[in-house]
Amino acid sequence: MNTKLSQFNVLAVMIAIAVLAGCATPTVAPTATPEPPIPTTTPLPESVKVAFWEWFSGAMGDFFEEEARLFHEQYPWITVEVSHFPDQNAYRETLGLAFESENAPDTFIRRH
């Protein structure tokens, strides 16, 4: 009877250990305090020049100049270079030649 009692005691102790191990709260090792991130600066965009051609004069020509200036204030790395032509005929002729010579402006006014 002694061996049965010993086996029972061993089995009871093993069950108790298993139950207690399941109920135990796991301990978490303290973590090192993370170092603050190194501040980075956003690189400035590269300077860009945009060629804009138009044939208007007077108030409309002044309007394009003013808009180019305001745009540059908002986006200082972008410069819009406004080229004025005296009339539509000179504009069309010069624009056509610019395309033929692969020297066209970045943007222009197109008349339908």
Per-residue pLDDT reduced to its tens digit, 97-112: 999 999 999 999 887 5
Element (H, E) at 89: helix 88-100
Q: What domains does the chain contain, in order, with CATH numbers?
A: 48-108 (3.40.190.10)
56 closest CA partner among 18, 23, 87, 29: 87
Sheet holding 48-54, edge to edge: 78-84, 48-54, 107-108
Question: Residue 39 — pLDDT band, cuts 50, 70, 90?
Answer: low
52 closest CA partner among 110, 92, 109: 109
Report pTM: 0.58
How many Å is the Cα radius of gyration of the chain? 40
Per-residue pLDDT reduced to its tens digit, 52-100: 999 988 899 999 999 999 999 999 999 999 999 988 999 999 999 999 9
Question: Residue 32 — pLDDT band, cuts 50, 70, 90?
Answer: confident
